[in-house]
Amino acid sequence: MTIKRKKVFSSLTKSKFQESDCIKFFCGTRHLIFWILFIKEEIKLFKEKTLCENLNKMSFFGRFVEAGRIVLITFGKYADKIAVIVDILDQNRVLIDGPSTVNGIPRHVISLKWVSLTNFKIDIKRGAKLDEVEKKFKEEKIEEQWNKTSLAKKLKLKDMRAKMTDFDRFKLGFAKSKRKAILGAEIKRLMKEKK
């Protein structure tokens, strides 16, 4: 074997291929070129296969605009309330329902820019009637599940703070300063004990 072939051979044998497999293809220069092309093709196929497997494992989107998807209204008269997508009118607008008997949101058309998709979904068909939407909404206890989420808790806290009076804000500030003083005293005591 020439020096050039030895270098290529040693680099190939460091991979997963057996030495006996490599010797079979090293009869001439033509076979060497074939072997290098073969390895490049195998690596390309391996990369494509692993890429496809990884793409199948992880899904880029988990929330889709579909009938039955629960949405949070972020703008307008019914802001910070949840509703159900009943029908998709076009790429910008959907028909939603509260249902009105549960949370007071009537069936109406709304822009997708005004809503935010949630992880919750109920199993209804496109254009389902109010009774069916209400039944599924109550069966799957969507309102209770929504109230347990961190976003719902934040919105409730925001609403509570917006409704606070001046005196309530004063009491809150006073309570915070008391808490801060107690914590500071405790930290000082612990630091002295540590020394």
**Domain regions of the chain by residue span:** 3-57, 69-159, 165-194
Residue 179's pLDDT is what?
94
Residue 2 has pLDDT above 80, yes or no: no
Q: Please tell me whether residue 117 adopts helix, strand or coil conformation.
A: strand
Given pLDDT bands bounded at 50, 70 and 90, which one contains residue 13?
A: very low
Q: Which one has a higher pLDDT value, 97 or 17?
A: 97
Cβ contact 61:117 at 8 Å:
no
CATH of domain 69-159: 2.30.30.30
What token pair was written down for 45?
């196929």
User: Mean pLDDT of all residues in the chain?
Assistant: 80
Q: Summarize the chain as % helix, strand, coil (round to 5).
A: 60, 15, 25
Put simply, whether the predicted model's pTM sits higher than 0.75 gets the answer no
Report the alpha-carbon distance of residue 105 to residue 103 in Å, rounded. Answer: 6
